[in-house]
A and B are shown apart, each in its own frame.
Chain A
Amino acid sequence: DAKTTQPPSMDCAEGRAANLPCNHSTISGNEYVYWYRQIHSQGPQYIIHGLKNNETNEMASLIITEDRKSSTLILPHATLRDTAVYYCIVRVGDMRFGAGTRLTVKP
């Protein structure tokens, strides 16, 4: 019962912005959009979350469409250390992970 759809993989050049899309067309009004990432053999790391407004923090920006059916995570200046699997999750309760997007940042 996947609630989000993400591309399985993406590449990005070092120093460029990485834009990771996520579709969540069945999102409910009280569900937040969360983004986590997992670097190989580590626990997931929180990146950002939002409800309907765009959000920005020191790691990334989150752009949520007005109908809330999709969102984009933006890493403004990707580095090699941003290579990871990125998970988009919609939740109001427990956190359930989909397949995520494997982002590879290349020199």
Chain B
Amino acid sequence: GAVVSQHPSRVICKSGTSVKIECRSLDFQATTMFWYRQFPKQSLMLMATSNEGSKATYEQGVEKDKFLINHASLTLSTLTVTSAHPEDSSFYICSAKTIWDEQYFGPGTRLTVT
């Protein structure tokens, strides 16, 4: 299957700082990428849908000014958590969709805000 990578795999940052997470489709082009968040012992929650070259579509309740998404190329989407707070600590997972409508997930990024 297709490979999606995320970087970093885990990050610790201080409250009030911003952190950027990268999501790359390694062997295919993805016009659409998705960002999910998962809190401990909970399921994945879709945060936003990112289309290459256009603005992301955010799910209800997700602050677009706090979670900045950029999908500047067909193989890279980034999620920037701005002014992070401890409640933003979570497991962030991206996925990328192929032209055949298959969706592959990255390994996730664990964010801890202290």
Contacts and interface: CB of A to CB of B under 8 A. Distances in A.
A94 B105 CA distance: 13
A35 interface: no
A97 B105 contact: no
Interface string A69-107: 000000000000000000100000011111110000000
Interface residues of A, number: 16
Chain B contact residues: over half helix, strand or loop, or mixed?
Answer: strand
Nearest to A45: B105
Chain A contact residues: over half helix, strand or loop, or mixed?
Answer: loop
A96 B105 CA distance: 13
B43 A100 contact: yes
A42 B43 contact: no
Contact of A99 (B43, B105, B108): B43
B1 A87 contact: no
Contacts of A95: 34, 46, 95, 103
